[in-house]
Amino acid sequence: MAKSASLQHISETDKKGQEMEAAKDQVARKRMIDRAYRERCKKNKMETERNVELLSKENDRLKGENATFKAEAVRTGKTLQSQEQEMKQLRKTIVLLKQKHDKQNTLVEVLSERLAGAKDADLQRENTELKSSLALLRSQVNDRNNLDKLQLQEKNAQLEHEKRSLEMIVQALCEKISNEKGADEGDHAG
């Protein structure tokens, strides 16, 4: 029995030793697991910090790019606004030039009609006067005094004709000056 008690005691000691050994192994395994976990956490933290730094740099770059685009949009808006103002001014100028052109065309038409009408009337009057002069010349060919008188009458008729032509030109020029003066006053009022 003593032997059996001693075996039992050794067996219990072995058992306790094995249990202690198992406990030490378990503690060592737990430490290794904890160390590995801390290493993973440390790696994850460093990777996260690196990602945050990269994302921060990318964010700053994008903010700068965005600011550049906004400034470009403002410049483009100002350019478009300036071009729009210029277009409005050009449209006004075109309208004024068209009005001036129309006035000048009207003046040319009126003067042309007057000149054409005046030429017809003058030609008819001149034709009548020439026929009268010719009839007088035929009847008074031999009378020297009458010939001088006829020449003076013819010269007088020619001078009258020139006078009427000059009066028409003066009147047309006065109308043109008046129209241009009215157009200039309209331009200055606008």
Say if 4 falls within a structural domain: no
DSSP structural state of residue 1: -
Angle at 182 between CA 117 and CA 179, to 5 degrees: 15
Share of the chain above pLDDT 90, in %: 27
CB contact set of 107 (below 8 Å; sequence gap of 6+): 172, 175, 176, 179
pLDDT at 87: 87
Domain that holds residue 160: 17-113+137-177
Say if 81 falls within a structural domain: yes
pLDDT at 44: 94
**Cβ proximity of 110 and 175 under 8 Å:** yes
What does the pLDDT look like over 114-137, one tens digit per residue?
A: 666 666 666 777 778 877 877 766
pLDDT at 32: 94
pLDDT at 187: 66
Say if 166 falls within a structural domain: yes
pLDDT at 49: 94
pLDDT at 141: 59
Angle at 158 between CA 156 and CA 164, to 5 degrees: 100
Structurally, the chain folds into a number of domains equal to: 1
Whether the model pTM is above 0.75: no
Say if 190 falls within a structural domain: no
Say if 41 falls within a structural domain: yes
pLDDT at 4: 60
Say if 77 falls within a structural domain: yes
For residue 72 the two structure tokens come to 């470009």
Say if 64 falls within a structural domain: yes
3-state secondary structure of 141: coil
Say if 78 falls within a structural domain: yes
b/e string for 9-32 if b means 16 or more Cβ within 10 A?
eeeeeeeeeeeeeeeeeeeeeeee
Q: Which residues of the chain have pLDDT under 70?
A: 1-10, 114-122, 136-147, 150, 186-190
